[in-house]
Amino acid sequence: MVDQKRFALFLATPDSEFVKKEYGGYHNVFVSTFGDEGEHWDSFRVVEGEFPDEKDLDKYDGFVISGSSHDSFENDPWILRLCEIVKKLDEMKKKILGICFGHQIIARVRGGTVGRARKGPELKLTDITIVKDAIKPGSFFGNEIPDSIAILKLHQDEVLVLPESAKVLAYSEKYEVEMFSIEDHLFCIQGHPEYNKEILHEIVDRVLRLGFIKQDFADAAKASMENRGADRKLLETICKNFLKGRVPAN
């Protein structure tokens, strides 16, 4: 019998009422994007101080760190604990997929610098340019490496200085580091491969209502999604290939 693959999701954000009602929580959003039948996925609400025991880390094949409304450069106790766990996983060479806040946390742990985005926040569907020379054909990107990928984005911070040994895999007009990898076990994405248009629309409405953004910013965010969607299937495949160590067939 083949051993069941096990993954752990570190949730750095609480469930919104919308996500709870529509999907039963972010756990289900992530697992429906990155999970496969027959796998076991555990969620830890790290934002609420819930972490696995260190002795249990080895039983997982891979880890995913979610986005967050918190700043990755802050020193809240749960953020420092998350950094400690990521450092340990890095030493164990465990696969970690970092998304948005998670992408920045991995950069921070490996000695990079994270901070407020120099060209301001982003909340929209946008294209990121792939650094094709940095990606080996036959890697988790597959054999057909795209020139660019459309991805949903929501962030006000960024990786300002990459850790040593990190490779930039994608950039955009506003941000120098949209994707990076370190060795074969760390893969980080500033955007949100797990988001769909409905989730981002609801976030736009909510942050507008709370006064965090202006109406024109909200309108531009929705307009970016009007006539096209993110390359969700491609992003899903790349992330799954990475997490599960798959080498795509020719």
Largest CA distance in the chain: 56
Residue 130 DSSP SS3: strand
Query: Is residue 192 annotated as a catalytic residue, yes or no?
Result: yes
Sign of CA dihedral 228, 230, 231, 233: negative
Q: DSSP assignment, residue 139?
A: B
For residue 56, give the amino acid letter.
Answer: D
> Is residue 185 annotated as a catalytic residue, yes or no?
no
The one catalytic residue among 100, 122, 155, 188: 100
50, 13 Cβ separation under 8 angstroms: no
Tokens 């067939």 label which residue? 249
Of the candidates 122, 158, 178, 194, the residue annotated as catalytic is 194
Residue (of 169, 176, 175) closest to 242 by Cα position: 169
Distance CA 33, CA 20 (A): 16
Which one is catalytic: 158, 188, 192, 239?
Answer: 192
Ramachandran sector of residue 26 (left: φ over 0; alpha: ψ -120 to 50; beta: rest): alpha
* Catalytic-residue membership of 201: no
Residue 56 per-residue DSSP state:
G
Q: Answer for the pair 47, 16: CB distance below 8 angstroms, yes or no.
A: no
Residues with a known catalytic role: 100, 192, 194
